[in-house]
């Protein structure tokens, strides 16, 4: 009983502390200060007062620099070295996406397409409006970072890919048009997630995706055995040509949406449950058995839907070629959907991007930060797990119910 009371007390204390913005502010400030100290020590290869032949410089006091965060403005003490060569990367890394968002808003204002809301936000964030020349300098600085990331070498193997697109409004030659933001996520052979590319195109047709996949190969993409995406015809054709021999998995979430659209609102809950039952089957043999049962049920009632289901659902079963422990996470593009929700939170503020570069700048910045979190976070999948044996998989695949 005492143990349960202790746990309850700890949880209550945690809630109080986490609800206290001053506590969070102090906690984050202390940890960021430690990062600055460690960064400086790494640069000069010596700790304070340490005598060593490897020392590359000496301290020369500090200066205060502010950092805007979700919990308020932090004041950090940046260390100076005697030769003035030390330059921390902390502020650029931490505020890259914030900087991209602000620059997009300022560009809108300068180009005369802003609203009162945009003017108010930019003035609040910057203190005053920034000149066109200053924006140009800042965007070039940020664009260099993003360009380096978008063209970095891919040195690992990425057995699994997840591919999707979303659309944003952008002003081109004085006209508002829709542009596709195309994202590719990879799961490395070590089991970590990584955003491999972010691109913008007029559409998500076959040629656009082919260009993206070929650029990824030039950068070193290799070892692809499985790709999950929606069933956009141009995308699927490009996947099958550029990754020959890899399994293509049709996103089950997109498939469910398509299936549900064929029924009345009253019918949907029942058929949603039945289709989910098919997709939750533990192996491909049972998935096919459950699918056949649903096809037969629909045949006399909704023949067109029955035929569509029978012809189309097979592409949703490639996931059964993966280890069982991978299947739930790799049967849909939900990971990108969640990333898209975060992108949407920022793009809603802008609503109409002033140019294509501003889309790459904002979404590229956010994707760099998300990718860094994934790579320094937990392992997403255990890639040492064995796949189902191919001959067993094929036998199960074509075994029909009697």
| Domain boundaries, given as residue ranges, for the chain | 11-91, 97-151, 156-376
Dump pLDDT digits (tens) for 337-394: 999 988 888 788 778 888 898 899 889 888 988 898 898 788 999 999 998 866 444 4
Q: Could you read off the pLDDT of 206-225 as tens digits, one per residue?
A: 999 999 999 999 999 999 99
When computed from its CA atoms, the radius of gyration of the chain, rounded to whole angstroms, is 26
Lowest mean pLDDT among 26-40, 81-95, 255-269: 81-95
pLDDT of residue 85: 59
Report pLDDT for 9.
Answer: 45
pTM here?
A: 0.70
pLDDT at 203: 86
| pLDDT of 234 strictly over 80 | yes
More confident residue, 399 or 336: 336
């Amino acid at each position: 009983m005492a143990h349960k009371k202790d746990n309850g007390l700890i949880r209550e204390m945690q809630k109080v502390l986490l609800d206290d913005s001053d506590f969070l502010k102090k906690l984050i400030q202390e940890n960021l200060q430690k990062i600055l100290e460690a960064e400086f020590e790494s640069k000069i290869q010596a700790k304070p007062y340490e005598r060593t032949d490897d020392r590359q410089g000496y301290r020369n006091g500090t200066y205060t620099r502010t950092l805007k965060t979700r919990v308020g403005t932090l004041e950090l003490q940046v260390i100076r070295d005697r030769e003035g060569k030390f330059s921390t990367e902390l502020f650029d890394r931490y505020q890259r996406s914030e900087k991209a968002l602000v620059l997009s808003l300022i560009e809108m204002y300068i180009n005369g397409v802003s609203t009162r809301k945009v003017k108010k936000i930019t003035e609040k964030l910057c203190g005053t409006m920034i000149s066109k020349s200053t924006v140009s300098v800042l965007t070039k600085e940020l664009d260099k970072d993003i360009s380096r990331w978008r063209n970095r070498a891919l040195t690992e193997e990425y057995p699994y890919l997840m591919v999707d697109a979303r659309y944003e409004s952008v002003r081109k030659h004085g006209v508002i048009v829709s542009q596709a933001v195309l994202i590719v996520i990879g799961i490395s052979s070590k089991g970590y997630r990584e955003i491999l590319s972010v691109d913008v195109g007029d559409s998500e047709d076959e040629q656009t995706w082919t260009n993206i996949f070929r650029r990824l190969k030039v950068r070193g993409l290799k070892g692809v055995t499985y790709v999950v995406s929606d069933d956009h015809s141009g995308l699927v054709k490009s996947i099958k040509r550029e990754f020959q021999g890899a399994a293509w998995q049709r996103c089950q979430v997109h498939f469910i949406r398509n299936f549900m659209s064929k029924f009345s609102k009253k019918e949907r809950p029942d058929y949603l449950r039945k289709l989910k039952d098919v997709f939750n089957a533990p192996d491909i043999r049972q998935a096919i058995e459950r699918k056949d049962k649903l096809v037969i049920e629909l045949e006399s009632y909704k023949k067109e839907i029955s035929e569509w289901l029978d012809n189309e659902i097979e592409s949703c079963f490639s996931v059964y070629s993966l280890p069982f422990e991978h299947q739930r996470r790799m049967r849909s593009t939900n990971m990108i959907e969640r990333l898209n929700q975060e992108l949407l939170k920022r793009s809603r503020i802008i609503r109409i991007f002033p140019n294509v570069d501003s889309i790459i700048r904002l979404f590229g910045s956010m994707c760099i930060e998300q990718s860094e979190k994934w790579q320094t976070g937990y392992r997403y999948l255990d890639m040492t797990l064995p796949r189902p044996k191919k001959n067993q998989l094929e036998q199960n695949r074509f075994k029909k119910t009697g």
